[in-house]
Structure 1
Amino acid sequence: MRETAHGSVFTANRPVMMAAAFHITGSRDDAEDVVQSAWETWSRIDVATVHNPPAFLSVMAGRLALNAVRTQRRRRETYLGPWLPDPIVDDGSPEWAVLHRDGLGQALDFVLSTLTPEQATAYVLRKVLEVDYESIAEVVEVSPAAARQLVSRAQRAVTASLGTLHGDQRSRDGAALSALADAVISGDVMLIAALLSPEATLYSDGGGTVNAALRPVHGAEKIARFLVGIAAQPGVVLVPSVINGSAGLVIQEGANVTTTISLRAGLDGIVAMYFVRNPDKLRRVQP
């Protein structure tokens, strides 16, 4: 009976824990390791002594993810080119259902990756999981007042990079992506540029193993020419997909997935684009 209770409670909360761990780490492997570690700890706890299992498990996932991202940031110091969160394409898998349902997308996860591990963790626990500040303080090992400051600073960084998050952001991004795909197919640089914010930035993550821009591409016209060059390659197929909970495209060349694309649409056009080309990050994206 005890094992059944442990398993059923954990299974019910697993998708939330996966989404939280991924938002903090930006890595599918790390998120899965976090949830596995959480299960090993949870399986030894008396469920009857836990007042609020969902909150308890969320806090546990946050603490483990914070430890993971602290280690991960050391790995990123030698990463070639921009580092982007892993693309997780919606295939109907229940374990990632929450990630795709929240619609936050790679845009937010990328911004979180630029914050301190403590800021990112505090933001996800508060804004995504609605964890109280006292529990957040325990996770990041600060006072409740300092935890509030971490969330506030993270929120300012998110707003500065992405603007205000809207409930219809996925629809906005999807419409922008559809219009952009049509424009790119036409090959008209000025038409493409008109869909982009003048201050738009394109990030391309190749991990140092495939061709990718080693520095972000800034400006509407430069990005437009970059996109036309990609579209001109023979055998490229664009497949609309949901990536990390937001609108995206999977690029196939023959039988291989070579790139995933997602974006963030603002009031004056597309403000950011995210190209993942690193084969290690694409290995679980099915053609």
Structure 2
Amino acid sequence: MNEESPEQADVLDRAASAFVELRPRLFGIAYRMLGSVAEAEDIVQEVWLRWQDTDRETIENPQAFLALVTTRLSINLAQSARMRRESYIGPWLPEPVDTSFDPTVGAERGEALELAVLLLMERLNPTERAAYVLREAFDYPYPQIAEILRLTPVNVRQIVSRARKRLTAVRHEPIDRVEHRHLLETFLDAAQTGNVGALERLFAADVVSSSDGDGIRGSSKFPVLGSERVARFVTAFSPWFWSGAAITWVEMNGLPGVLVSRDGSGVALLAIETSREGIHHLLWILNPIKIEAFERSRSRFVTT
């Protein structure tokens, strides 16, 4: 068996240190690209394996190289992920991430992180999404994005501008965190008491309720639209859903959200999209796999 020389061990240690330092950023890129914690972690693991096998002496800028590999792998996976989601039972929502430890998930800014925004970005193709994420969240210069995407800087500017306009056209102007939490608190009070009138007053006219359960019993397979229908939908399941449930406030994708538990196990995560007009979107995460992943991520930051 060949023993590793001290020089080789030192080289690998330096490679590992460089990677560990950049890991939050690499995860942040992949997560925004894919809307999935599990898939983002798979990408980061693959990048690490490639980094070990790379002739690192030829790499002048490790950060640029690792961002390039992460983005290209994410683009490839995003193309196949779209096809897989076509077989998903019911609405698909991005997998939430705990942001109590890293509020911006490795980025220069917290852009493209809220669940509602990640969902809107599904309208962009993978290349558009990559250009938008790298520029808006991580503030990469256009020439570097162009190198990553194998495009010209002029093309990248155009892509980012178009993506920004497309998202701005359909995104509601957000309110501050305090108002956001107040709306969610008020919703919870009205939902638990089955107060249809109070719920309707909270909702914007275009409100949507989406339940991500991938076919789990009790989750709606179709989005519910309109303030009256959503209010009646919420009150219809309130007697059994909230009975015996415990509510824990969590930091979810940069905004306050709630974890609903029963008998010590999470049964739902709830996030909302809001504006001055009220609540536009109720995002119910009921898929046990996504809930368990979120609870595991919380356990790294919450002391018992």
Could you tell me the TM-score, scaled by structure 1's length?
A: 0.88
- Out of 18, 21, 29, the residue aligned to residue 12 of structure 1 is 21
Q: Deviations over 1:63-97 (max 9, x none)?
A: 111111111111112222211111223574x7995
CA shift digits 1:3-52 (9 cap, x unpaired): 22211111111111112111110111110011011111222345564444
Q: For 1:6, what is the secondary structure of its paired residue?
A: helix
Instruction: Verify the 8 A CA contact 1:18 1:96 in the aligned structure 2.
Output: no
Higher RCO structure (Cα 8 Å, ≥6 apart): 1
Structure showing greater Rg: 2
The residue type equivalent to 1:144 in the other structure is P
Q: Distance in 2 between matches of 1:286 and 1:96?
A: 19
**Contact 1:58/1:129, CA 8 A, preserved across alignment:** no
1:98 aligns with 2:106: yes
Counterpart of 1:235 in structure 2: which amino acid? G
RMSD: 2.5
**What is the aligned residue count?**
283
Q: Name the structure 2 match of 1:89.
A: 98
> What is the aligned counterpart of 1:202 among 190, 209, 212?
209
Give per-residue Cα distances to partners, 1:229-285, cap 9 Å, x unaligned. 333212222221112222111111223212111111112111112111122222323
**Which residue does the alignment assign to 1:264?**
273
Q: Who is 1:54 aligned against?
A: 63
Aligned counterpart, 1:241? 250
Q: Taking structure 1 as reference, are residues 154 and 35 closer, same or farther at Cα in structure 2, changes over 3 Å only?
A: same
For residue 156 of structure 1, what is the aligned residue in structure 2?
165
Pair 1:107–1:281, CA change in 2 (3 A): same
Structure 2 unaligned segments of length 5 or more: list them: 1-9, 297-304
Distance 1:96 1:149, change over 3 A: closer
Aligned-partner Cα distance in 2 for 1:202–1:21 = 27
SS at match of 2:158: helix
Q: Which amino acid aligns with 1:74?
A: M
Q: Secondary structure at the match of 1:148?
A: helix
Q: How does 1:51-200 map to 2 (within 5 A)?
A: 51-90=60-99, 92=101, 97-98=105-106, 102=110, 104-164=113-173, 169-200=176-207
- Identical aligned residues as a percent: 30
Deviations 1:150-177 (A, max 9, x none): 222221232123234x6x7444432321
CA contact (8 A) 1:162 1:264 kept: no
Query: Closer, same or farther in 2 for the Cα pair 1:282/1:96, shift >3 Å?
Result: farther
Partner-residue secondary structure (3-state), 1:43: helix
In the alignment, the residues of structure 1 paired with residue 277 and residue 41 of structure 2 have an alpha-carbon distance, to the nearest angstrom, of 37
> What is the CA-CA distance between 1:147 and the residue it aligns to?
2.2
1:154/1:170 CA distance change after superposition, 3 Å: farther
- Tell me, in whole angstroms, the C-alpha distance in 2 between the residues paired with 1:82 and 1:66: 22
TM-score when normalising by structure 2: 0.83
Task: Give me the whole-angstrom Cα distance separating, in 2, the residues matched to 1:54 and 1:176.
Answer: 40
Aligned mates of 1:145, 1:170 — CA distance in 2: 36
Aligned counterpart, 1:232: 239
**Change beyond 3 A, Cα 1:222–1:173:** same
In structure 2, relative to structure 1, the CA distance for the partners of 1:267 and 1:91 (3 Å cut) is closer
The alpha carbon displacement at 1:106 in A equals 0.8
Unaligned runs of 5+ in 1: none
Distance 1:151 1:171, change over 3 A: farther
- Give, in whole Å, the separation in 1 of the partners of 2:167 and 2:178: 20
Counterpart contact for 1:82–1:204, Cα < 8 Å: yes
- After superposition, what is the alpha-carbon deviation per residue over 1:158-211, rounded to whole angstroms, capped at 9, x for unaligned? 2123234x6x74444323212222232343211122111111112111112332
Using the alignment, how far apart are the partners of 1:171 and 1:59 within structure 2?
37
Distance in 1 separating the partners of 2:160 and 2:17: 32
Counterparts of residues 13-32 of structure 1 (less than 5 Å): 13-32=22-41
- Cα distance, 1:130–1:212 mapped onto 2, change above 3 Å: same
